[in-house]
Amino acid sequence: MNDKMNFSNFNWTREPKSFLITADKIEIITKPHTDLWQRTYYHFRNDNAPVFQIETEEKYFSFTVKTEFESKTRFDQCGIVMYLDSENWLKGSIEYENETFQHLGSVVTNNGYSDWATTEIPANVKSMWYRFSRRQDDYCIECSNDGIIFKQMRICHMWKGGEKIQFGIYACSPENSSFKATFTNMEITECKWLAHDGQKPDEN
């Protein structure tokens, strides 16, 4: 399996301020005060970010995309997403913080509670590749500076991610901001996240 994206098979869960879709590129202009977050620490619930996804029942695959972004305001972000419903989703992205640094990270939300894992990177990084991989109801998010060498960001289990899912891209601006995010080099391939070959599971 190695398929170029057919964007006619994608659907919006909330449209952005504006967008452009061509055969090999998607541009999104974000709306201010849009985000995805559920409860943890901040206690608020934000569920209004634009999401552009395709549906699948395939249990083993990888989805790769290159992002380029003109983020400039705190929390501006764009990246990959698997949005099942308001309380069950995951995302991987760079969130702008200030002129010095930004957060490269991922959020996993199961049953209405989000967690956020991050590492700081320089604020002048304006492009990143992501790879989202599925092995049944377990998932892996990776990132890459060049689209060749990918590094693991997160492995997680999604409690409602065992059957049909939706996955794709998103961009949002939680504060009073708007920026352009560009998505290219999208493809679905065989699963690049290989089966674990280390310690065997405990026997019951």
Neighbours of 182 (CB within 10 A): 17
**CATH 2.60.120.200 for the 2-189 domain, yes or no:** yes
E strands, the chain, in order: 2-4, 10-13, 18-21, 25-29, 36-38, 45-47, 51-56, 60-69, 77-85, 88-96, 101-110, 113-122, 127-135, 138-144, 151-157, 165-172, 180-189
First vs last C-alpha separation in the chain = 36
Q: What predicted TM-score, i.e. pTM, was given to this entire model?
A: 0.94
Confidence of residue 202 (pLDDT cuts 50, 70, 90): confident
User: What secondary structure letter does DSSP report for 196?
Assistant: P
Whether residue 1 is predicted with pLDDT greater than 50 in this model: the reply is no
Whether residue 127 is predicted with pLDDT greater than 80 in this model: the reply is yes
Closest CA to 128 of 99, 94, 151: 94
Confidence of residue 120 (pLDDT cuts 50, 70, 90): very high
- Average the pLDDT over each of 42-51, 70-79, 101-110, 172-181 and give the range with the smallest value: 42-51
